[in-house]
Structure formats: C-alpha cells, structure tokens
Structure 1
Amino acid sequence: MSEEVLTSEEDGILVVTINRPEAKNAMTKAAAEGIAAAMDRLDSDDSLRVGILTGAGGTFCSGMDLKGFLRGESPSIEGRGFGGIVQKPPEKPLIAAVEGYALAGGLELMIACDLVVANAGAKFGIPEVKRGLVAAAGGVMMLPDQIPERIAMELALTGDFIDAARAYELGLINRVTESGALAGAKELAASIVANGPLAVRVSKQVIKQSRGWPMEERYTRQTQLIAPVFISEDAREGAAAFAEKRKPNWKGK
C-alpha cells in the first residue's frame, strides 16, 4: 500500500485516508493505486463491512495533481478510473468523510461513494473549466444523476463552489456535522455494520443497478438478486433475534 494512502480498521469499518496533506490531497497515480488496493481489501475481507474514504490534514481531495498531469501522469487505474474507484466502486458501502475541499476529481471521488458526511465548512465544486479542462471523471456525467440537471450544469459551466449547507439542501450529501466529518462517518458506518451484510450488499446493488433496468423488467431482475437473501442463514437469524429480543449474530451467509 502506498504511503500516500493510509488504512486502519475498527469494528468492521475500513478507514482509507488520502495522505498528501502538503498538496491538499491532490490525486496521483500512487494514491489511486493505494485506494484501489484498499477497495479490493474491503470487498475481499469478510470482517470488513463498510469503508470510509477521507483525506488527511483538513482537506478531502483537491482533484488531480496538476504537476503530475504536466509530467504526463494519469491518476487513474485501468478499468477503475480516476482515484481507483470512479468507474468501479466497491461492492460494499463506501462513505465519504469530507473536510475542507472536495473539488474537481475530489468531488468525483466523493460522488462515487454511496454516502457523504461533511463538515459544515466544506466546499464542493467541479472547477475544471477554469483551467480549460472538463470534469471527465464522472463530474459532468454522474453529478446530474445526483442533483437537479440545471444545478449540475451551473456548477460545470461556471466552475463555482457550493458550501455544505447548499450541498445538503440539494441532496448531494447525507449529513452535515459541526465537528469532525470522520467521526460522523464512523457513526453512520456503525449503523450499517449493525445490519445483515448480505442484505446491505444486495440493497446497494439493486439501488445502483435498477436505474438502468427497463421498467417492465425491474421486479424480475430484483427477484433474481434478492432471492438468495431471503433463504440465507442471516435472514433466519434476523427473524430469530427479533423474536428473542437480542442482537443478531450475522454470518454473512
């Protein structure tokens, strides 16, 4: 794992930290590789249930490292995209914990996550046009799926920023915290960890995939994905725990 990305785990939560505070966590090839490796670990380790992506030093990510760009470096991974996740996020839930700025590629990293917790002082934007570039790592394609198209158009064409209050109002982020975003993200993650891992994974899968399903096929396709959940050991354990008024002992199968 690159020193530009740090990981730690506790209580089923994998915290992945972009560790380039001197450069406002601008994304490099090495950092992208580190994030991709961390996502592989999240999905392959049954003891890990939720991931959190954050940045060191009070900034989430300021985007692509422009010095690296001028050297011809691409902070992308083949088949995974910018930062190692925008084209291929993990199967398990991933929460962005945003302090400071989530700009350009940093915003694109954020919107590739499933949930977002941000500090009240955070700022968001895709200012690529101010540098003669396009927010090509999902900004101009994915942002209109998450906020109204006209607002996404304004952000893309002006390059202006919005604050956490406006981002929350638009539904771009889930929670705003006056204290540390990471602490808030861990609280949200813990509420996910408490639930059945199979049900969580498939719920995410259906939400992500069903937007592209033909309307007449939605229930059929959903049934194909959720049927194994309803006959799983976890489903029986969940019902038994409810009846016995105790916490469930999930096995993930």
Structure 2
Amino acid sequence: MSAELKTGQSGATLILTVSNPGGRLAHPDLFASAVEALEVAERDDGTRSVIVKGLDGLLSVSGNLRDLAERRLPAQDALAQRIERFASWLDALRMFTKPVIATVEHNADGAGLAVALACDFIVAAESARFSVPQLTAGIAPDSGITWLAARGLPKALAYELVLAGATLDAARLYHAGVVNRLAENGKALDVAIDLADELGTLGAGVFARSKRLLEEAATRDLLAQMRAEGDALVELSR
C-alpha cells in the first residue's frame, strides 16, 4: 500500500495524518498533497488550527537507509523532486499563519523529526522517541534536519541527535523546552486537540503577526525588531 495523506476534522481543527504502512520513504506526491491541504486551510475561515500526525511514517526523503548505506542512490532527478517537494511542505508549515501542532505517539526519526520541528508546537506521548538515524547508518543526514535542528534545538541536543546518533525520549525534550506537552501513551492526539482548542481562542491576526515576528527576528538587530513590533502593533490596532 502506497503512502497517502489522510484528512480529518475535529471542530475547527484540521487533522493531517501521514499514512505510510510498510515503509518510511514517502512519495513526493504526498508532500505536494500536504502543501495543498495547508493552502486550503489557510483560506478557510472555519479552520483555526492544524494537527499533523503519523510522523513515524517518515524517515528519509532521499531513500531507504539500507539502500543509501550501500550507496544505491535514487536517480538524480527523482531525488531533486523529493527534496524540493519536501522542502515546500516544511516551508508551508513554518509560514502557515494559524497554529500547527505535531503529535508524536511513537517515534519521530529523521524526516519525521524535521516535520515536527517545522510545526509551531509538539505534543508527544511519554514513550515517544526522537532520533536522526542516518549517522548510525553511515550516511549524511537529510530532510532538512540539520537546518531545523540548528534553529529549533539547544546546541547540545542538536549535536547529540545529529552528530552522536542518539535517541532521545520525550521527557528529555519536554524538559529542554522542545516538546510543549507530554501526554499519556495513546493520548497525544487528544492533548493536541485540547491545545488546538486553546489556541483557537486567540485572534488569528495576532497569532499570524507574532509568528512572523519570531520567524524574522534572526534577520534583524534589536532596534529593527522593536520597530517591526511597533509596526505590527499599529497594524493590528486598525
């Protein structure tokens, strides 16, 4: 059975589920479908937040780890298409103006971890695990994980995951401020829906503008950032 993106709804929250039984290399069409779903949700006033689940169905955008370790690489054009479409999905998550929550019930490894870090919030079950297994397979990391880990994780955790090939549990990432909510096993989606309902009470314009300020802060000095905050204050007061 091929990978697919399933959609569901809980109140004003769109739920996107990566369904990839039997393998963790998703077809690039799945990434394109995810971008399209976010574009539709962006325009839909009835959708106030998005949850992404099923991330244990993703591992690498480049290929099967065993094949890559044995230097059996995909065709260059096919690899380029995978990279571009996956990057488009990550960018769509990062730029989405409504709250996006990743749920991790089991594992988020490699590409799955990249998707989680591209979301605004992460809800993980107590037994969830996070890793970047490419290093232990003797290959370079992919799926944008080095870019996202460098920006979304404390340096010590980023290095431990990417350079030491460590597997970290949800509790450690929760105490490090990376995971926002810990859930009982089997309850990650329920906790994520509760969080989405809380976030849905915020003004859409305020959330979108504040997220944009956070995303752009690294490109400005302090004074420029404060001026941007002032511009946002004026804009939202109109």
What TM-score, normalized by structure 1, do the two folds share? 0.80
Aligned length: 225
| 1:111-155 Cα distance to aligned partner (Å, 9 max, x none) | 000000011111101122223333343322221322221221121
Q: Is the 8 A contact 2:102 2:119 kept in 1?
A: yes
Letter of the 2:16 partner, please give it: V
Which of these two proteins has the greater Rg computed from alpha carbons?
1
| 1:44-73 Cα distance to aligned partner (Å, 9 max, x none) | 2121111110018xx353333724984433
Alignment of 1:173-212 (within 5 A): 173-178=179-184, 179-212=186-219
Alignment of 1:18-37 (within 5 A): 18-23=18-23, 25-37=24-36
Q: Is the 8 A contact 2:62 2:142 kept in 1?
A: no
Q: Is the 8 A contact 1:61 1:101 kept in 2?
A: no
Alignment of 1:1-253 (within 5 A): 4-23=4-23, 25-55=24-54, 59=56, 61-64=58-61, 66-67=63-64, 70-72=73-75, 73-74=78-79, 76=82, 78=84, 81-82=86-87, 84-89=88-93, 90-178=96-184, 179-231=186-238
User: How big is the alpha-carbon RMSD for the aligned residues of Structure 1 and Structure 2?
Assistant: 2.4
Q: How many Å separate the matches in 1 of 2:27 and 2:3?
A: 12
Residue 188 (structure 1) shift: 0.4
Q: Is the 8 A contact 1:60 1:97 kept in 2?
A: no
Residue 98 (structure 1) shift: 0.8
Letter of the 2:110 partner, please give it: A
Q: Higher RCO, 1 or 2 (CA under 8 Å, sep at least 6)?
A: 2
Q: Closer, same or farther in 2 for the Cα pair 1:137/1:77, shift >3 Å? A: closer
Gaps of 5+ in 1: 232-253
**3-state SS, counterpart of residue 16 of structure 1:** strand
Comparing both structures, which one devotes a greater share of its residues to helix? Answer: 2
**Between the two proteins, what is the percent identity of the paired residues?**
26
Q: Is the 8 A contact 1:95 1:189 kept in 2?
A: yes
Q: Is the 8 A contact 2:21 2:57 kept in 1?
A: no
What TM-score, normalized by structure 2, do the two folds share? 0.84
Gaps of 5+ in 2: none
**3-state SS, counterpart of residue 22 of structure 1:** coil
